[in-house]
C-alpha cells in the first residue's frame, strides 16, 4: 500500500527551528515530485514548498522563502522540511503530499499531517 507518514511536529518557541520528516512507502520515491502543504487553525490549505523527483529543483511560497528548506533522501524514501526562524503564523498542520509526476502539478496522495505549534 502506498503511504506517507509525517513526523517531527511539536511545540517550538518563536525564532526556533524544527525538522519535519515524511516517510514514503510503496512507491518509487525518486519518480515523483513531493511537497508540503499546511493548514493553519481555522484556515484553508496553503501550499508551502515543492521538490522535483530527484531533488534538483525546489520551489517555495513567499511566506517561507529563506526560512524553510525542503529536501529528500532517496535512499531512505524520506522527505524533509527544515523550518528555521519560526513565527506564530507558521502554526499549522503540515501535510506531506505526492505529485503523480516528477514535477508538481497537483497532489494525488497526502499524509495524515503533523501539527506544528509556534
Partner 1 sequence: QSVLTQPPSVSGAPGQRVTISCTGSSSNIGAVYDVHWYQHLPGTAPKLLIYANTNRPSGVPDRFSGSKSGTSASLAITGLQAEDEADYYCQSYDSSLSGWVFGGGTKLTVL
Q: How far is the CB of 39 from partner 1 (least distance, A)?
A: 8
Nearer to partner 1, 50 or 52 (CB): 50
Instruction: Tell me the C-alpha distance between 48 and 28, whole Å.
Output: 23
- Kindly tell me which of 14 and 49 has the beta carbon lying closer to partner 1: 49
Judged by beta carbon, residue 52 or residue 104, the one nearer partner 1 is: 104
Listed in sequence order, the residues at least 6 apart from 11 whose beta carbon sits closer than 8 Å to its beta carbon are 117
CA distance 88 to 96: 20
Residue in this structure with the C-alpha cell 493553519, named with its chain if needed:
40
Q: State the minimum distance, in angstroms, from the CB of residue 4 to partner 1.
A: 8
Return the closest-CA partner of residue 19 out of 104, 61, 78, 98.
78
In the complex, the residues that contact partner 1 under the rule CB under 8 A are: 35, 37, 44-47, 50, 59-62, 95, 97, 100, 104-113
* Least spacing, CB of residue 86 vs partner 1, in Å: 20
Amino acid at each position: 500500500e502506498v503511504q506517507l507518514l509525517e513526523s517531527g511536529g511539536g511545540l517550538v518557541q518563536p525564532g526556533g527551528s524544527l525538522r519535519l520528516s515524511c516517510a514514503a512507502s510503496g512507491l518509487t520515491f525518486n519518480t515523483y515530485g513531493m511537497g508540503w502543504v499546511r493548514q493553519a487553525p481555522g484556515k484553508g490549505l496553503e501550499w508551502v514548498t515543492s521538490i522535483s523527483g530527484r531533488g534538483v529543483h525546489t520551489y517555495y511560497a513567499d511566506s517561507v522563502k529563506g526560512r524553510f528548506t525542503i529536501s529528500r533522501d532517496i535512499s531512505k524514501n524520506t522527505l524533509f522540511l527544515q523550518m528555521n526562524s519560526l513565527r506564530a503564523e507558521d502554526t499549522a498542520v503540515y501535510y506531506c503530499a505526492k505529485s503523480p509526476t516528477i514535477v508538481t502539478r497537483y497532489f494525488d496522495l497526502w499524509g495524515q499531517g503533523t501539527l506544528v505549534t509556534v
